[in-house]
Structure 1
Amino acid sequence: MLLIKNAKVYTMAEKVLENGQILIKGNKILKVGKNIEVDKNCKVIDAKGFYVTPGFIDAHCHLGMFEQDMGFEGSDGNEITDPVTPELRAIDAINPMDSAFKEAYENGVTCVCTGPGSANVIGGSFAIIKTKGIRIDNMIVKENAAMKCAFGENPKRCYNAKKQSPSTRMATAAILREALMKGRDYLEKKENGEGKQNFNMKMEALIPVLKRQIPLKAHAHRADDIFTAIRIAKEFNLKLTLDHCTEGHLIKDELVKENYPAIVGPTFGFRTKIEVRNKTFDTLKVLKKAGVKFAIMTDHPVIPISHLSLCASLAVKAGLDEETALKAITINAAEILGIQDRVGSIEEGKDADIAIFDKHPFDVQANTQYVIINGEIVFKKY
């Protein structure tokens, strides 16, 4: 067993515990509180003066899909040969040997939702994984977590360059609708046992989306693209997350009415294209005030995944309260991804994914002291 003691513990489930203790047994949190009794054989981390948080969660990135220092050989996130590729699975492209994994967990990021990029109208399924391991099969929290779809600039730019559809936003929406209609018809025939149906891998991959088992993970920056994503989700009665949501602050009242969660970012850095010209860290405080639930993402490698806490810190600088910013990379991210039963807070029975810092993690000078994933110390500063 492992005991963390004398820490300032941000459980994300209740008030901050001063001089708190966390007892870990195996890969789970056994107890959280004060004055926990342990035997003499228990390993102890004295975290006096340190800040303890749940491991951070990046709710949208491409970790292991676009590898560092690799160029084309390590670029496996976009299959730009067909705008509709729901059959693709992130787990078949994620490389845990990508050096960015080490940078992730050394900076407290212990869990990510990673998957295909936004070149295709439907790009394939995202996976939720832990950030420490050598074999992806042993790192999975949820293999089929969401189905990526994309609106706006990226699919029209990629396929216009190939002189094929979609080259407009109209075509992007039409192609997505057609795929969903075909999928719905395929599912109905399959469930009704209407004759002998030929197997279709694309349609099979859309069944969890149509049955509301997983959400559409919609790449949408601009306000009109966000509304198109919502329109189509409502047409087919689908679950939906609004990923990027760059102009969310401009349509906050409408987002409140629709009640879909947002995963906001990448907000730090250069405005690389027209559809992100209204990018601002103000988006987060505006959405909080309006009552929209959100997480913060890096979109790694757009922002290096090691800077997830910096993104949250910059949101605080722009006016978001500190507690909400921390929730946006812990428990809110977990709830939006549907994995709150395992991660996102320091509570009894949850995975022992914990980060320990010498200063508050939003302090740019904070250093990670320990990182624990599944009860194992995967990083120790000294």
Structure 2
Amino acid sequence: MSSTDQKYLVGAEVWTGTGQRLKKGVIVLEGGRIAQVGEDIPVPAGAEVADLGGCLVTPGLIDAHVHMGTYNEGFPENMQDANDMVEPVLPQLRILDALYPGDTSFSDALSGGVTCVQSLPGSGNVIGDQGMVVKTKPDIVERMAVLPCSAMKAALGENPVRVYNAKGKLPNTRMGNAWLMRDALVRARNYGAKRDAAAKKGEPFDRDLGMEALLSVLDGTMPFRVHCHRLDDIQTAVRISEEFGLRYTIEHCTEGHLVAPWLAEKKVFAAVGPTLSSKPKIELRNKSWDTPVTLWRAGVHFCIITDHPVIPIEHQIVCASLAVKAGLPPDEALRAVTLYAAEHLGLEKRMGSIEPGKDADLAVWDGDPLDARTHVVKTFIDGAEVYSR
């Protein structure tokens, strides 16, 4: 492409997310991606230039666990679409079929520098449904999608017990949660064996969309994201995932600081949060900003999440700054909402840092992003300016 097809962002300090801080950085955008980044990049005559002098540029923030587009802002509880709580195992459902691009949280995300999120179902079911990863610029859902079916959501702990105890059905206990999870995975494995046997014989076989979705979990194609706060639930999530050889993550990991070395040994990926909220349930009684700090010291891979709408999406950077206040190094806190979140989603080759070839998703700040007085002045998604203060 010619230089006229490129855009040059100049004059700002650039935090690349890879260990570099470029005092007078130049970022070249081309075709929705980052073409170059450095300090001594010449700007051709006639090129489109945006002078960001006095600002700091970071990768666009990534929140790996939200409920945007399903728990919609300003909608009553009975009009929310994140949970079908009629059966405790519903792997056939997809957030793709429920996401509402008109949710005002998407524009709020842009004002907070958040360019990509994973929208997941709620935690009312032991196995809920399939989440999706989207860019936060409102659009046709398929055009927002990065991963249309990004993961299978599961849940242990209080939520499924509370929901189904009131309905007089399993689960009534944590044992019930674990059994239902195992049973669903065993049934999926048996379904796959029967389907394959029928295919070999050339016999017809009735499809089961839920079982087929779980087969994607069993073969490692789709990660298993398990909601668990309490120590015992975290251990159960690891136990069952290892039994079935699943690719899994721990979502929330509230008491993870109590077993941080063990989690490091297990090479667990954890999404930590929402920490900037109250403790309305028993399983949240040990919630602390020490959790991300302790996980970092133990070498556990983690990212910081808002669980929007529990914490409004535009305040994800505030969560990172409070982790710094608790002792997390600033660069680690920024990676926890950029590169580490991308790694949590398996998207680190595409986003999470400012490097050539990656999506041109950027947040431009008028000061230190970890200072609560700082504003996002511009947000870019795929090289296009989608927010300006």
Displacement of 1:14 in angstroms is 3.4
Instruction: Provide structure 2 residue ranges, at least 5 long, that are not aligned to the other structure.
Output: 1-5
Displacement of 1:74 in angstroms is 4.0
Which residue of 2 is the match for residue 49 of structure 1?
54
Which residue of 1 is the match for residue 3 of structure 2?
none
**Structure 2: which amino acid aligns with 1:36?**
I
Which residue of 1 is the match for residue 383 of structure 2?
375
Structure 1 residue corresponding to 2:95, chosen from 90, 100, 105? 90
2: CA distance, partners of 1:367 / 1:43: 24
Structure 2 residue corresponding to 1:217, chosen from 194, 218, 225? 225
2: CA distance, partners of 1:164 / 1:74: 24
Structure 2 residue corresponding to 1:323, chosen from 327, 331, 347? 331
Structure 2 residue corresponding to 1:226, chosen from 196, 216, 234? 234
**Structure 2: which amino acid aligns with 1:8?**
E
**Range with bigger deviation, 239-248 or 40-49:** 40-49
Displacement of 1:43 in angstroms is 2.0
Structure 2 residue corresponding to 1:208, chosen from 213, 216, 227? 216
* 1:356 matched to 2:364: yes
Structure 2 residue corresponding to 1:273, chosen from 276, 281, 286? 281
Which residue of 2 is the match for residue 241 of structure 1?
249
Q: Is residue 289–residue 323 contact of structure 2 (8 Å, CA) maintained in 1?
A: yes
1: CA distance, partners of 2:288 / 2:93: 33
Which residue of 2 is the match for residue 68 of structure 1?
73
Displacement of 1:73 in angstroms is 5.6
CA displacement 1:277-316 (0-9 Å, x = unmatched): 0000000110011010100000000011111000000000
Instruction: Provide structure 1 residue ranges, at least 5 long, that are not aligned to the other structure.
Output: none
Q: Is residue 107–residue 138 contact of structure 2 (8 Å, CA) maintained in 1?
A: no
1: CA distance, partners of 2:232 / 2:267: 17
SS in 1 for 2:358: coil
Output aligned runs, 1:1-382, within 5 Å. Answer: 1-72=6-77, 74-192=79-197, 193=199, 195-381=203-389
CA displacement 1:244-301 (0-9 Å, x = unmatched): 0000001112112211110000001211110000000000110011010100000000
2: CA distance, partners of 1:100 / 1:14: 31
Q: Is residue 65–residue 74 contact of structure 1 (8 Å, CA) maintained in 2?
A: no
SS in 2 for 1:250: helix
CA displacement 1:226-245 (0-9 Å, x = unmatched): 00001100110001100000
**Structure 1: which amino acid aligns with 2:106?**
F
TM-score normalised by length of structure 2 = 0.96
Q: How many positions carry a matched residue from both structures?
A: 381
Q: Is residue 66–residue 309 contact of structure 2 (8 Å, CA) maintained in 1?
A: yes
TM-score normalised by length of structure 1 = 0.98
2: CA distance, partners of 1:74 / 1:27: 36
**Structure 2: which amino acid aligns with 1:11?**
T
